[in-house]
């Protein structure tokens, strides 16, 4: 039995793993999906969300599990599993980057995001300076995120997707070769 910690991508929350968790559990594994700070049911005000606190939340979960874990990071939050692995190298069996950013030490997710000049989502991202967050407009959900999903998933997303904190995307990763 393996323990998987599932980290959602931008604008999403733990609900995003609702079809993956039963598959892993049916195979005898343990699967834990969390809401990162400011996302889903976590009520941290979005403008107060910081990368360090987000990574600490992941590390606290890892610390509460006896065996090594497999961290799965989706999309932007590949950065979170990289940083968590730096802080808890002895507790990580494997990192899985699911359509995710794998950023080297000292670089930011934003630096790499800017290189994606043809991204279908970019024209639909709206910045909210007051909240220090950005939002994805619902008209791109089907094409940009859920093209292969049943329509009810897109409709569900219209109710559940939220703002995405910006600070973590502009915070340089602090990684060592050792960890």
pLDDT 10s digits, 13-41: 999 999 999 999 999 999 999 999 999 99
Is residue 38 situated within a structural domain?
Answer: yes
CATH code for position 9: 3.40.50.1820
Q: DSSP per residue over 131-161, as a string?
A: TTEEEE-GGGIIIII-TTS-HHHHHHHHHH-
Is residue 92 situated within a structural domain?
Answer: yes
Q: What is the DSSP letter of 88?
A: -
Is residue 175 situated within a structural domain?
Answer: no
* Bridge-based pairing state of the strands 3-7 and 30-34: parallel
Is residue 177 situated within a structural domain?
Answer: no
Q: What is the mean pLDDT of the chain?
A: 96
Is residue 122 situated within a structural domain?
Answer: yes
- 51-63 vs 78-87: helix axis angle to the nearest 10? 60
Is residue 39 situated within a structural domain?
Answer: yes
Task: Count the domains in the chain.
Answer: 1
Alpha-carbon torsion angle 94, 99, 104, 105, nearest 10:
-70
Share of the chain above pLDDT 70, in %: 100
Two tokens, residue 19: 């079809």
* pLDDT at 122 (0 to 100): 93
Q: What is the mean pLDDT of residues 67-76?
A: 98
Burial class (CB in 10 A: 0-12, 13-18, 19+), 59: middle
Domain that holds residue 91: 3-170
Is residue 178 situated within a structural domain?
Answer: no
Residue carrying structure tokens 């989706």: 74
* pLDDT at 165 (0 to 100): 96
Taking the C-alpha atoms of residue 27 and residue 8, their distance in angstroms, rounded to an integer, is 21
102 pLDDT band (50/70/90 cuts)?
very high
Is residue 179 situated within a structural domain?
Answer: no
Taking the C-alpha atoms of residue 122 and residue 116, their distance in angstroms, rounded to an integer, is 9
């Amino acid at each position: 039995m393996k323990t998987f910690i599932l980290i959602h991508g931008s604008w999403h929350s733990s609900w995003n793993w609702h079809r993956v968790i039963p598959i892993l559990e049916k195979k005898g594994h343990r699967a834990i999906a969390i809401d990162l700070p400011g996302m889903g049911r976590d009520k941290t005000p979005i403008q107060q969300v910081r990368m360090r606190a987000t990574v600490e939340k992941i590390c606290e979960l890892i610390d509460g599990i006896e065996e090594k874990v497999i961290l799965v990071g989706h999309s932007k939050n590949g950065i979170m599993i990289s940083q968590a692995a730096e802080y808890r190298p002895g507790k990580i069996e494997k990192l899985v980057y699911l359509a995710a950013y794998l950023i080297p030490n000292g670089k930011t997710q934003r630096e790499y995001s800017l290189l994606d000049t043809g991204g279908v989502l970019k024209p639909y991202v709206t910045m909210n300076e007051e909240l220090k967050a950005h939002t994805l407009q619902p008209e791109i959900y089907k094409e940009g995120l859920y093209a292969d999903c049943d329509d009810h998933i897109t409709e569900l997303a219209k109710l559940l997707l939220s703002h995405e904190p910006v600070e973590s995307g502009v915070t340089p990763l602090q990684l060592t070769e050792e960890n």
